[in-house]
Each structure stands twice: as structure tokens, then as C-alpha cells.
Amino acid sequence: MAQWTINKLLHMIEIDTLLHARWIVPVIPRGAVLERHAIAISEGRIVDVIPSADAARRYQASDVQSFDTHAITPGLVNCHTHAAMSLLRGVGDDLPLMRWLKDRIWPLETALVSAEFVHDGAQLAALEMLRSGTTTASDMYFFPDSTVRALRSFGMRAVAGIIAIEFPTTYASDAEDYLRKGLATRDAFRTDPLVSFSLAPHAPYTVADQTLRRISILAEELDLPIHTHVHETEDEIAESIAQHGCRPIERLDRLGLVSERLIAVHAVHLDALEIQLLAQRGASVAHCPASNLKLGSGLAPIAKLTAAGVNIAIGTDGAASNNRIDMLSELRLAALLAKGGARDASAFSAPKALESATLGGACALGLNRRIGSIEPGKEADLVAFDLASVETQPLYDVVSQIVYAAGREHVSDVWVAGNRVVHKRHVVADRDGSMEKSLMASVGAWQNRCRQVLLTSGVA
């Protein structure tokens, strides 16, 4: 028997991790569900997706885990957020966008934003995102180096926006200064395989033509996506017509920004020609349904965009305009709103919504060869959902159950590049809870400072 075991082992392939699951949802092909399969992982990459019985005979792993009541999906990709703004959660509720910005957000940012503010806010966001299954966050904010360090401190994958805006802040003095500092941050993190970058002009109404042309050139030279708010409100469009003689997307197109690199954030108010243009150029839309609703911006035409072939990604936006940085609640809302808006129950199905929250985000960010689906050769960014609870029973359709019934409380384990970053709902980097305890003390201090600013300004 001992000799037989030795011979067996000699023919087995040594790997790092073997994850057996009741269900695996690979995303490619759309809607597929593999029952009683295993994911073989080595050096952070998926090497095989195979029936569990065959995996036990083929692979010898140092770490073998069984998830008998779980579904494993790709990690969720938050394609648009402002992580640091978790410290401003709830300060401007029930206000339309421009009043929200001018009366609350911009005055608070002027008074509070610093490298420390951004780091603490991004850490708070990272904990929330990881516990709800988000493995990648595409961020747009000041002090992107602080955001990257915060997300990486808990093991997340970060896509940092090299922000550009025309007015000065504590971070930079003008558009050129923003770009220079952002590019320096990119150089500083060049060796971290879990950090990538985008060019992030804030919005057409805050960025001049000269800056947008520079960004178009940089995007080509550096092979980076362009991440910008656009067509979020009707007022934005009217203002663009008055100042530039055209709608914002037409202006961006004239300046060379509408291409497969473009991530059009919000994209709520689009006409048929603009939808056609985005589809023809291979652009993506980062859909932020909760923020769009909360700020009263409107309903993005997701069913029409999908029908035209536009890649849809999903983002939470920041906690200041959403209050939750929870991709699960976002993808459920996205699916429901698309159906209601189109008056078609088949619009934006559960498999399509999950695809948008995973592979759609990866495609928008240029990461689809690395993450977004469970396939051999891709990095093992994964989420395990425990579907044995009352809220998810009975279970007839695994994908529908994840999209329509599951919540962040059902996320048990999370991996980024094969490393487990959440284990049984506990963030691995903070095993003893000391990091969270220290962070919450800092959050309390920021809350007090925020209240003082509001009191001083007379709006609290």
C-alpha cells in the first residue's frame, strides 16, 4: 500500500492550492455553473478547473479547502469609486449633484483632504469592499499613492486614477501638476503586480481642452484606460452646449478620447447616436445605479447600451453619494433598474449582471487577460459565497441566487492572486483586529473634524 501511494504521488502534479466547491461560476461561458468542481492554483494563477473527483487524483496541494455549501465566482471588480470618500458617508444626503458638490463635498475636501485623510478613508473602504467580495477597485481621487497603499495593506488589487482637474487643491496646483504627480506615483508602484493605473480627468466640465488632448496622447503612449465622469446630469450637457457648442461626448470625441480606452462613468443621459458611437469605438460604461438614483441624476439606458454591444462595468461610486461600497447590492440594483427602464424582464439578466461586475470591469480596465473569469492562466481572484443560509434557500438557480438574494453577509472567503485575503469573513491582514481598531479611532477623529467644518460653514 505504501509503495502504491508513493507511485501515485509521483504521478501527481504539485500545486499550491486546491479549492473544491459545490458550485463554480466561471462567468465564461455566460451563465455556466459547474457542480462539484475544483480550482487548482499555483503561483497565484489558475492552472485547472476540473471535477473534484479528478482533481483529487491529479493534484497534490499544500493547501486543500472544501466549500461544500458554497459557490465560487471571480472576484468583483468595482470599476468606479472614490475610496477615501468613505469618510464623508452621509454628509450630503438628499441633495442634487451640483448642490451636493458645491455646498458639501468641495468645501469639506478643501478643509480636510490630505494624504492621511485619503489613506484612512481608503482603508475604511477596503475593509467594506473585501467583506462584500470586491477584489479590484478602480479609484479616482487625490493623493492616489495613499489610496494604493491603503488598498494594498489589506491585499486588494488597485487601479489608481491619475487625476486631472483645473483648479488647485492641497494635492496639486494645476492640471499639469496633477498629471506630473500621478505619473510619479505610477513609477513608484511599477514593481507591484497588483497595482495598475488609469488616466482620470475628473469630468469634461472641470477639465480644459488642452488637458484632455494631453491625456489622449498619454493614454496612447502609456497604454492606459481613460476614466472620467460624463453625461451624469442634464445640466452638465446644457452647460457643455452653451460653452463648447456640443454635448460632452462629442467634445471628448473631437479631442480623441472616445475609443476602446474610454470608461464613461455614469453615462446617464445618452441619445441614440451617442450609444452608437460608444459601441463603434469599443468604449465601456461604468454604471453606478445607486449613486445615479441617490443624486437624482436619472436612469442610465443600460438595456439599450447592452443591445448595442457596449461593454458594461459596474461601480459603486463613493460612499458620499451611495452610502454603501457594496458591489453585490449594486449589481442587483443594476439588473432590476435595467428591467424596469426597458419594461422587459429579460433585460440585463442575472448572468449578464454578474458578468458586468466581474469580466466587464476587467475588460474596461484592460485587465481581462488577467482577471474577471475563472479560467486556466488567469490570476486567482475569487469569492466564495455560502448559500446554505435561510436567505438563500431553496436554491434553484445559483447565479440568480447570487445576484438577487445573496448579500455581503454571505461572502465567506476571498482570494486575490491566489492569496486568501478574507477567511470566514475575517480580513486576513488584520488577524487580531488591531488594524481595524486603530482605524476606527482615526475615523472618529475625522468625523469630529468634519462636523466642525460643517458647523463653521453654517450648514450642519
Q: In this predicted structure, what is the pLDDT of residue 11?
A: 73
Q: Which residues pair with 13 in a beta bridge?
A: 59
Q: How buried is residue 8: exposed, middle or buried, by Cβ count under 10 Å (0-12/13-18/19+)?
A: exposed
Q: In this predicted structure, what is the pLDDT of residue 96?
A: 85
**Do 428 and 155 meet the contact criterion of CB atoms below 8 Å apart?**
yes
Q: In this predicted structure, what is the pLDDT of residue 125?
A: 98
The answer, yes or no, to whether the previous bond of 29 is cis (omega within 30 of 0) is yes
**Do 389 and 14 meet the contact criterion of CB atoms below 8 Å apart?**
no
**Do 85 and 318 meet the contact criterion of CB atoms below 8 Å apart?**
yes
Q: How does pLDDT run across 386-402, given as a tens digit for each residue?
A: 999 999 999 999 999 99
In b/e form, how buried is each residue of 346-357, taking b as 16+ CB within 10 angstroms? ebbbbbbbbbbb
Q: In this predicted structure, what is the pLDDT of residue 3?
A: 43
Q: How buried is residue 3: exposed, middle or buried, by Cβ count under 10 Å (0-12/13-18/19+)?
A: exposed
What is the rounded distance in angstroms from the CA atom of residue 336 to the CA atom of residue 222? 38
Domains of the chain in sequence order: 2-74+379-424 (2.30.40.10), 76-364 (3.20.20.140)
What is the rounded distance in angstroms from the CA atom of residue 342 to the CA atom of residue 168? 42
- What is the residue-wise DSSP string for 45-60? EEEEEEEHHHHHHHEE
Count of CB atoms situated within 10 Å of the CB of 65: 17
Instruction: Categorize the per-residue pLDDT at 143 as very low, low, confident or very high, splitting at 50, 70 and 90.
Output: very high
Asked whether residue 115 carries a pLDDT value surpassing 80, the answer given is yes
Q: In this predicted structure, what is the pLDDT of residue 459?
A: 62
Instruction: Taking each helix axis as running N to C, give the angle between helix 115-131 and helix 434-457, from 0 to 180 degrees, rounded to the nearest 10.
Output: 120
Q: Are strands 134-139 and 157-164 parallel, antiparallel or unpaired?
A: parallel
Q: How does pLDDT run across 160-201, given as a tens digit for each residue?
A: 999 999 999 999 999 999 999 999 999 999 999 999 999 999
Q: Which residues pair with 64 in a beta bridge?
A: 18
What is the rounded distance in angstroms from the CA atom of residue 434 to the CA atom of residue 427? 11
Phi-psi label, residue 266: left if phi above 0, alpha if psi -120 to 50, beta otherwise = left
Instruction: Categorize the per-residue pLDDT at 4 as very low, low, confident or very high, splitting at 50, 70 and 90.
Output: very low
pTM of the model: 0.96
Residues 211/213/215/219 CA torsion (nearest 10 deg): 180
What is the rounded distance in angstroms from the CA atom of residue 2 to the CA atom of residue 226? 59
What is the rounded distance in angstroms from the CA atom of residue 223 to the CA atom of residue 261? 8
Q: Which residues pair with 386 in a beta bridge?
A: 70
What is the rounded distance in angstroms from the CA atom of residue 116 to the CA atom of residue 9? 52
Residue type, 228: T
Outline where DSSP puts E strands in 280-401.
284-287, 311-314, 382-386
The greatest distance separating any two alpha carbons of the chain, rounded to the nearest whole angstrom, comes to 84
Instruction: Categorize the per-residue pLDDT at 455 as very low, low, confident or very high, splitting at 50, 70 and 90.
Output: confident
Q: Which residues pair with 382 in a beta bridge?
A: 74, 415
What is the rounded distance in angstroms from the CA atom of residue 274 to the CA atom of residue 382? 35
Q: How does pLDDT run across 221-238, given as a tens digit for each residue?
A: 999 999 999 999 999 999
* Structure-model confidence comparison of residues 216 and 104, the more confident one: 216
Q: How does pLDDT run across 150-161, given as a tens digit for each residue?
A: 999 999 999 999
Q: How does pLDDT run across 307-318, given as a tens digit for each residue?
A: 999 999 999 999
Instruction: Categorize the per-residue pLDDT at 34 as very low, low, confident or very high, splitting at 50, 70 and 90.
Output: very high
Instruction: Categorize the per-residue pLDDT at 460 as very low, low, confident or very high, splitting at 50, 70 and 90.
Output: low
Q: In this predicted structure, what is the pLDDT of residue 274?
A: 98
**Do 120 and 152 meet the contact criterion of CB atoms below 8 Å apart?**
no
Q: How does pLDDT run across 118-142, given as a tens digit for each residue?
A: 999 999 999 999 999 999 999 999 9
What is the rounded distance in angstroms from the CA atom of residue 131 to the CA atom of residue 143? 24
Q: In this predicted structure, what is the pLDDT of residue 1?
A: 42
* Percentage of the chain lying above the pLDDT 70 cut: 97
Q: How does pLDDT run across 257-316, given as a tens digit for each residue?
A: 999 999 999 999 999 999 999 999 999 999 999 999 999 999 999 999 999 999 999 999
SS3 420: strand
**At a CB cut-off of 8 Å and minimum separation 6, what does 348 contact?**
302, 303, 306, 334, 335, 338, 339, 356
359 φ, ψ to 5°? Answer: -65, -35
* Percentage of the chain lying above the pLDDT 90 cut: 93
Outline where DSSP puts E strands in 165-260.
195-201, 226-230
Residue type, 363: C
Instruction: Categorize the per-residue pLDDT at 435 as very low, low, confident or very high, splitting at 50, 70 and 90.
Output: very high
* Structure-model confidence comparison of residues 353 and 12, the more confident one: 353
Q: How does pLDDT run across 319-344, given as a tens digit for each residue?
A: 999 999 999 999 999 999 999 999 99
SS3 399: helix
Q: What are 81's three cell numbers?
A: 469609486
What is the rounded distance in angstroms from the CA atom of residue 420 to the CA atom of residue 428? 7
Looking up cell 489589506, which residue turns up?
A: 154
Q: In this predicted structure, what is the pLDDT of residue 457?
A: 77
Q: What are 460's three cell numbers?
A: 450642519
Q: In this predicted structure, what is the pLDDT of residue 7?
A: 43
